[in-house]
Structures are given as structure tokens and as C-alpha cells.
């Protein structure tokens, strides 16, 4: 595998997607190849059938490799599901040296201390995200390196996952012919790909609504502050349409995408659409408003859960920049307006912030693009080109 290759593998409930990029020192990131196949063996964001998922992972890799004209060995993989949990923690360190200057080693040690939590058996930490440092009582410090102080405190956000699940994912990947470079929380990846630095600074919520999960994360003062994974997504909307109108899931999916909307406002009582009922029961007409109402009810339920999560975070009042929606379901007609009304916050749809190729210009690709950005961030930190990586901030965006 070439030295500067960065590979993202997004294992979603509905699609598996591989993105190969190359980092060139003076030119930035170049998109090399993309492979996308339907997902199998994944439910609510979690792999439930390893061989089936592995088969599709292999196929997605094959397509991306063919597209790029090269082979890959390892990939950064998205992780989601209800087993994900998060918590805040603090670490402390006394700087005893004469000059009192804070060095890289001090940051490593204080972050180590902040990551020391009593972990129940069967759980592991997947992200240790520094939020801010405190030097001699002065808080909100992003970059304490080189400062003088006697007491250093680190505040971190820890994301944990079920170890068994992580092992299953690694196995699935290896069976698919690829090594695991690391795991990245889906909402963190989607946020990295879509959020603007000023939004991350002022306070913003990313809500990635895929097929089987809705991933919520709050970014504030350039750091990730809160995460939550809800086991509900676009598949539930499709299912409601199928059950409510007595049509197949396949037809419900097409109907949702082409005629569906999350807003009943403005639809006339006499507007009708033709649908094909199940098991040869023939065609029938339904009111467009009925379809919209079915969708609207589920969307309302999803955003009630999102609102509960935001309140639980204690940060709802600080989300000055509002909400960014990503994931395939963010393409649902009327969703932006519906979300604005329900949450009473400004909303925009999050397209990946890359200019290199129009192929990736969809909120569906937010996660996989974010995985590549995360891979680049890790690479630069490992090579010492970036310091400890306090900032998720927009430093990497200069590479596009
Ligand atoms: N134009 C559209 N309008 C409405 N819904 C859409 C549209 N395009 C895609 N979707 C929905 O988006 C969902 C798939 O989104 P996405 O690809 O982000 O999911 P995923 O990553 O596979 O799943 P997850 O992240 O939940 O595990 C499906 O439920 C699909 O119906
Ligand atoms: Mg997804």
C-alpha cells in the first residue's frame, strides 16, 4: 500500500462504502477511488452476520481498488450502534520541573490520567477526545504546549464500545481481506466532513440520519462535547409507509424518496398518488397527505429523541449555530423545515466539504469522507506534524 494512502470504510445499515484518497504534500488530498455496495448483515448500525457483511466489505473494497487502480491493506472504519456510550472525565498533573514549561510528554501523561476510568468488563475506550486544558486554574485553553504552569488539568470526552462488537468488526474486516487501522465514531466522522470551523467554535449539533441509526454529536469551542446513538433511522420511515399503505418495502422506499415529505403543511386534500398494493391486490389511490402524515409522525418521534439527547447533554442552550443534518435521510423532502420548526434551531444539510469530485457531493458520503479526514489527522499526529490534536477544528480543511 502506498505511503500516503488514506482509506475510509463506512459500514452502514443500508450501504457499505469504501473511499481511497492520497495525501500529497503540496497538493492536498486527492480522491483516488470509491466503492459502494448494498449492506448485508447489519442491523441498526451493528454487524449481526459477520460472513455476510464480510462478503459485502470485500466487494466494496474490490470496487474501490478497481476504481483507484491500486490495492489497499488497511482501512479506518465507522462504528455506531446502541452499545456506544460516552462520558466526560478529568485528569491532573503536577509540573515539578524548574522551568514549568508544559511539554508534549506532560500532555500525554495528563490525558492518560484523564482516560483512567473504571471500565466494566466487556467495554473498551474507542476515543479519548481532549476538550480543554486548565493551567493553574485558567480554563478553556486549547493548546497548553509551551505555556508555564504548576498544575495541568485535562478535560476529556471518552467514547466507549462493547469489546465483543469491536472484535466482531475486526474479524469481519479481516475476512473481507483488509486490516483495521482504527475505529471512528460515525457522528465524529460525519462532523469532521461537514462542519465549518466557526460552527464548531460557536456550538453546533450534527445529526446523521442513516437507514438504521440517528447519530447525534455536539461540537463546542472546537471540541466534541457530547455523543449519542439512537437506534432509529430512515428504514423505520420506510417501514411505516409500507405498513400504513399496505405496500411492499421496496415500493415504500421508492414512494418515500420520490413523493414523500416530512411536512404535511401545504398539501391539498385532493392531491392523490397511485400505489401498488401487496400480493397482487392491484393499484389504488392514496392521499398525498396521508403519506406525508405517516412520514411526519416518525420524523417527529426521531426529533423528540434527538431533543431529549440534547437536553440530557446540558448544552442545548449553547448550540448557537444550530443543527447540521447528514446521512441519506437528510435528503428527505421538507426535513430541514420540519426540524427547524420542531427543535426551534437553524438547520442546514451537511454536504462533505470537498471540492475534488462531485461524485461525493451528497450527505450520504459524510461519514466516509470524515473517515479519510480522521485518518489524515492521525497520520499527521503520528508523524509529529501536528501536536496532540486538541483541535478537531478546521486545520485539515486547508488540504482540500
Ligand atoms: N432522497 C431521499 N429521500 C429520503 N430518504 C432518503 C433519500 N436518499 C436516501 N434516503 C434514505 O437514507 C437512508 C440511508 O442513508 P445512509 O446511506 O446514510 O445510511 P447508512 O449509513 O447505510 O445507515 P446507518 O448509518 O444508519 O447505519 C435510507 O433509509 C434511505 O431510504
Ligand atoms: Mg451511516
Q: Is the minimum distance from the CB of 257 to ligand 1 under 6 angstroms?
A: yes
Residue of minimum CA distance from atom 15 in ligand 1? 328
In the reported structure, the alpha carbon of residue 50 is separated from the centroid of ligand 2 by a whole-number distance in angstroms of 18
pTM for the full predicted model: 0.92
Q: Which of 210, 228, 325, 371 to mutate to test the pocket of ligand 1 (most atoms within 8 A of CB)?
A: 210
The cell for 61 is 473494497
Write out the chain's pLDDT in tens, 400 residues. Answer: 677 899 999 999 999 999 999 988 777 788 999 999 999 999 988 899 999 999 999 999 999 999 999 999 999 999 988 899 888 899 999 998 888 899 988 988 999 899 898 888 999 999 988 888 999 999 888 888 889 999 999 999 999 999 999 999 999 899 988 999 999 999 999 999 999 989 988 999 999 999 999 999 999 887 888 999 999 999 999 999 999 999 999 999 999 999 999 999 888 888 888 887 777 777 888 899 999 999 999 999 999 999 999 999 999 999 999 999 999 999 999 999 999 999 999 999 999 988 656 789 999 999 999 999 999 988 887 776 655 444 434 334 434 4
Contact (CB, 8 A) for 252 and 245: yes
Q: Name all domains of the chain by residue range, CATH numbers in brackets.
A: 85-161 (3.30.1490.110), 197-351 (3.30.420.40)
First to last CA, the chain: 22
Residue of minimum CA distance from atom 8 in ligand 1? 328
Closest C-alpha to 353, from 334, 372, 335, 339 = 372
Q: From the CA of 12, which ligand is nearest?
A: 1
For residues 364 and 13, what is the distance between their CA atoms, to the nearest angstrom? 12
For residues 49 and 117, what is the distance between their CA atoms, to the nearest angstrom? 32
8-state DSSP, 317: G
Phi, psi of 21 (to 5 degrees): -130, 160
Amino acid at each position: 500500500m502506498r505511503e500516503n494512502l488514506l482509506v475510509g470504510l463506512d459500514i452502514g445499515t443500508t450501504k457499505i462504502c469504501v473511499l481511497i484518497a492520497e495525501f500529497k504534500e503540496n497538493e492536498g488530498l486527492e480522491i483516488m477511488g470509491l466503492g459502494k455496495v448494498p449492506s448485508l448483515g447489519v442491523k441498526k448500525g451493528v454487524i449481526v452476520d459477520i460472513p455476510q457483511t464480510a462478503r459485502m466489505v470485500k466487494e466494496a473494497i474490490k470496487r474501490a481498488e478497481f476504481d483507484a487502480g491500486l490495492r489497499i491493506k488497511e482501512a479506518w472504519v465507522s462504528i455506531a450502534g446502541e452499545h456506544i456510550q460516552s462520558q466526560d472525565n478529568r485528569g491532573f498533573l503536577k509540573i515539578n520541573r524548574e522551568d514549568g514549561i508544559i511539554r508534549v510528554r506532560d500532555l500525554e501523561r495528563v490525558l492518560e490520567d484523564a482516560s483512567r476510568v473504571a471500565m466494566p468488563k466487556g467495554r473498551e475506550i474507542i476515543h479519548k477526545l481532549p476538550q480543554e486544558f486548565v493551567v493553574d486554574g485558567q480554563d478553556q485553553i486549547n493548546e497548553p504546549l509551551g505555556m508555564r504552569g504548576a498544575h495541568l488539568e485535562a478535560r476529556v470526552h471518552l467514547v466507549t464500545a462493547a469489546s465483543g462488537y469491536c472484535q466482531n468488526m475486526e474479524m469481519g474486516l479481516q475476512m473481507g481481506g483488509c486490516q483495521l487501522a482504527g475505529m471512528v465514531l460515525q457522528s465524529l466522522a460525519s462532523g469532521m466532513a461537514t462542519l465549518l470551523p466557526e460552527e464548531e467554535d460557536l456550538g453546533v449539533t450534527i445529526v446523521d440520519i442513516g437507514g438504521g441509526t440517528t447519530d447525534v454529536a455536539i461540537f463546542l469551542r472546537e471540541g466534541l462535547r457530547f455523543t449519542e446513538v439512537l437506534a432509529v433511522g430512515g428504514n423505520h420511515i420506510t417501514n411505516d409507509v409500507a405498513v400504513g399503505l399496505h405496500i411492499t418495502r421496496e415500493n415504500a422506499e421508492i414512494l418515500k424518496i420520490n413523493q414523500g415529505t416530512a411536512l404535511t403543511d401545504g398539501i391539498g386534500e385532493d392531491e392523490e398518488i397511485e400505489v401498488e398494493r401487496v400480493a397482487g391486490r392491484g393499484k389504488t389511490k392514496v392521499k398525498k397527505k396521508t403519506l406525508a402524515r405517516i412520514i411526519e409522525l416518525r420524523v417527529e418521534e426521531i426529533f423528540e429523541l434527538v431533543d431529549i439527547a440534547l437536553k440530557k447533554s446540558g448544552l442545548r442552550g449553547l448550540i448557537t449555530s444550530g443543527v447540521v443534518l447528514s446521512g441519506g435521510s437528510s435528503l428527505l423532502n421538507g426535513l430541514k423545515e420540519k426540524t427547524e420548526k420542531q427543535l426551534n434551531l437553524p438547520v442546514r444539510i451537511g454536504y462533505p466539504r470537498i471540492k475534488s469530485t462531485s461524485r461525493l457531493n451528497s450527505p450520504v458520503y459524510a461519514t466516509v469522507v470524515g473517515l479519510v479526514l480522521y485518518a489524515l489527522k492521525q497520520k499527521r499526529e503520528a508523524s509529529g506534524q501536528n501536536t496532540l490534536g486538541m483541535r478537531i477544528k478546521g486545520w485539515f480543511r486547508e488540504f482540500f
